[in-house]
Amino acid sequence: MSATIRGELIAAVSEAIEIGEHVPCRAGDVIATAAWTSDLPEDQLEAARACRSCAVARLCRAYIAAHPREWGVYGGITEADRKPAKGRPCGTSKRGAAR
């Protein structure tokens, strides 16, 4: 199933480009598209904003949900977005603790 999503995404990107739809991470030169693989959070946020106008964004989000990766921007989702929130472990709330 997940290999299918990857194939679907690759095909959708190719088709979108072929018919002239906007796929930001494939538009422009290597430098312009480097934000999608940058280590810098500000670059990744810029890429994520650009993803909003992408013709295949929904499928791209489905792909990254099926293939969580540790780096890069997919479907408007940055690496930081995909990291589990840090915080107090479940069941250790301060609420009700003795003072």
- For 40: left if phi > 0, alpha if psi spans -120 to 50, otherwise beta; the answer is beta
Binding-residue pattern over the window 60 to 99 for ligand SF4, x denoting contact by CB under 6 A: x------------xxx------------------------
Q: Who contacts 41 (Cβ-Cβ below 8 Å, separation ≥6)?
A: 78, 80
- Residue 91 sits at φ, ψ, to 5 deg, of 85, 10
Q: Does 35 bind ligand SF4 (CB under 6 A)?
A: no
Tell me how many residues contact ligand SF4 (CB under 6 A). 13
Binder among 25, 35, 44, 78 for ligand SF4 (CB under 6 A)? 25
